[in-house]
Amino acid sequence: MTDRKRMHSIPDLEAKGRKRLVLIVEDDFVNREILKINMQQEYEIICAETGCEAREKIHAHSDTLSLILLDLNLPDLNGLDLLRELKQDMDLSKIPVIVLTADTESEVESLTSGASDFIPKPYPRQEIIMARARRCIELSENRDLIRWTERDHLTGLFNRDYFDRYAEQYDHYHRNDPTDALVLDISHFRMMNERFGKAYCDEVLRRIGAELFTFVKENGGIACRWEADTFQIYCPHREDYPALAARVAAAASGPDEGRVHIRIGVNPNVDKSGDMERRFDRAKSAADMIRSSLTESVAYYNDDLRQKELDAGQLLDDFRGALAEEQFLVYYQPKYNIQGPKPVLCGAEALVRWKHPERGMVSPGTFIPLFEHNGLIRELDNYVWRKAALQIRRWKDQLGCSVPVSVNVSRIDMLDPDLTETLCGLIKDNRLDFSDLHLEITESAYTEDSKQIKDIVAGLRNQGFKIEMDDFGSGYSSLNMIITLPIDLLKLDMGFIRSAFSESGDTGMLKIMMDIAHHLSVPMIAEGVETKEQMLTLKDLGCDIVQGYYFSKPVPAEEFEEFMRQEEK
Ligand code: C2E
Ligand code: CA
Ligand code: CA
């Protein structure tokens, strides 16, 4: 039963003038009847005489039960055990329980086991019983209302706003206890969504929620669903996280054993002087280390990551100065058309390099993701595009010719409302043709907000820019989607080349990708081609254009001119 169902039941009941439902669990006939008579004016009553019957009825009416009156001495089981069982269950634990007992010793134990109240035997006056029942229901309904706002409605765990608040509160009461921050998510969740559908994946998330609920119930701490398939847990320090990952994966997979793979990033023994967000960012960077691994399930934040974080911070600080001092260089890597008898130079990709005064050449693999993360990439890309446009102009002027240059357009650039204007401005200011500049847009950009992105790309294409879909095959776009996309060239993700030509690889996948390109009547570019054998295989498969170390690494503009001169010979 979710909070939603329960919450709906309260106003519904009032609107319909229906009575709230109360379960009396009592084996003694006389006692049962006394309670029933006492309460039936105000409540709808159902009864159970044994623990098993009670369990059945609780499950059958879990959505609508407002209160359980529970005798501790039942013929088949101890009422306290049943109580504990209910309190371990995320859904059933919300139903308030009043314990009925003649034994004053059990009162404390009942309360610590999760009972809301107790009524001693022999029973007190009717008004007392009624007052206790009423108060209990009222408190629980108020609590339900609060739950409704502080919970994620799919999983019943806290939502992110309240999680932060409760995590601070948790700290307050556990100031000196070693505490771990965890980020947990599902590997390849997007792909699962595509393959198995939303309803199935919602069920998986719900199961994870229930398992995490049990985990924190047993071990202390708090848990929330942060967003989509990401969960956060803040709990007492422990060592056995692989076991937790296995346990959550098993629960999430349910009958489809092994289907769901869980990753956990752990920031162990958090530094409580830093802010909460930071503690979980660190757990997240740990989780990111095993992003694509299907064998590892737990990663820890460690000194290496700490150093990386510091380095990243340094690069961010250095960015503005570096841009002003022109420390960023644009290199060019040739693209060759290989379909004729002899490879023909047909273009170049502009790739940025950072000549850092202290660190030497920094690879874009290091700084691009960083700048994408905080939006600086827009400034950098604008700079690279301008340099590339100037370079094309210079080649035209000095050599009397040029080749189309493709520039990378990051996902973040697509959100810039001035994007089209900026790019068109470069063409105009440098007196270029639109076909001189190709735009490489990574496949994953399309999958995020496809309608908006599609419209922007279509607009650029209508202007006359040629659009290349970069890293094709690395995202999750379906064939249906690709057919509708405004693109002129597909640029195969390098991963396909790597795996096709690895020791145990075969070219089956390559062939499929080529077939897709042919089906769409769009030329295919393969990048990362390092050997003659790879080039010839691709040629046989019908690949049109090749880029890679086999022909050349990315080189400075002056060196690139050599390739153009050679063509002329
Ligand atoms: P990408 O767009 O997929 O670029 C191809 C990468 O493969 C380049 O790495 C290139 O140097 C490398 N490469 C080319 N041929 C071979 C080969 O035969 N073997 C191997 N192993 N690698 C090869 P690079 O220059 O380090 O760039 C990495 C990524 O950084 C690029 O991937 C692109 O996503 C991004 N990037 C580079 N420059 C820019 C830029 O100006 N703007 C934006 N937004 N992203 C950029
Ligand atoms: Ca690219
Ligand atoms: Ca690529």
Given this model, what pLDDT does residue 460 score?
Answer: 95
The structural domains of the chain, ordered by start, are: 3-150 (3.40.50.2300), 160-301 (3.30.70.270), 333-568 (3.20.20.450)
**Any atom of ligand 1 within 6 Å of the Cβ of 179:** no
| pLDDT band, very low/low/confident/very high, at 293 (cuts 50, 70, 90) | confident
Which pair of structure tokens corresponds to residue 330?
Answer: 């644009």
Residue 377 CB–ligand 1 contact under 6 Å: yes
Q: How far apart are CA 530 and CA 553, in angstroms?
A: 10
Residue 9 beta carbon below 6 angstroms from any ligand 1 atom: no
DSSP class per residue in 108-126:
HHHHHTT-SEEEESS---H
374-431 pLDDT, tens digit per residue, is: 899 999 999 999 999 999 999 999 998 889 999 999 989 998 999 999 999 999 999 9
> Which residues surround the ion ligand 2 when the cut-off is CB under 5 Å?
408, 440, 470
Give yes or no for residue 414 CB within 6 A of ligand 1: no
Say what percent of the chain tops pLDDT 90: 75
Q: Does ligand 1 have an atom closer than 6 angstroms to the CB of 368?
A: yes
pLDDT score, position 476: 62
Give me ligand 2 centre to Cα 67, in Å: 63
Sign, CA torsion 283/285/286/290: positive
Quick one: what percent of the chain has pLDDT higher than 70?
95
Task: Kindly report the protein residue whose alpha carbon is nearest to atom 28 of ligand 1.
Answer: 365
Cα separations in angstroms, 521 against 6, 200, 211, 482, 483? 55, 36, 49, 12, 10
Q: 361 in ligand 1 pocket by Cβ < 6 Å?
A: no
Q: Check pocket membership of 384 for ligand 1, CB cut-off 6 A.
A: yes
Give the atom of ligand 1 at the shortest distance from the alpha carbon of 384. 41
Q: How far is the CA of 563 from the centre of ligand 3 (A)?
A: 22
pLDDT of 16 over the 70 cut: no
Query: Distance, CA 37 to ligand 2 centroid (Å)?
Result: 78
The ligand that comes nearest to the alpha carbon of residue 440 is: 2
Residue 3 bridge partners (DSSP): none
Q: Tens digits of per-residue pLDDT, 220-245?
A: 999 999 999 999 999 999 999 999 99
Sequence-distant (≥ 6) Cβ neighbours of residue 492 within 8 angstroms: 472, 473, 510, 513, 524, 525, 526, 527, 543
pTM for the structure as a whole = 0.69
Q: For strand 298-300 and strand 20-25, is the pairing parallel, antiparallel, or unpaired?
A: unpaired
Which one of 408, 438, 491, 529 would you pick to mutate in the ligand 1 pocket, going by the greatest count of ligand atoms within 8 A of its CB?
408
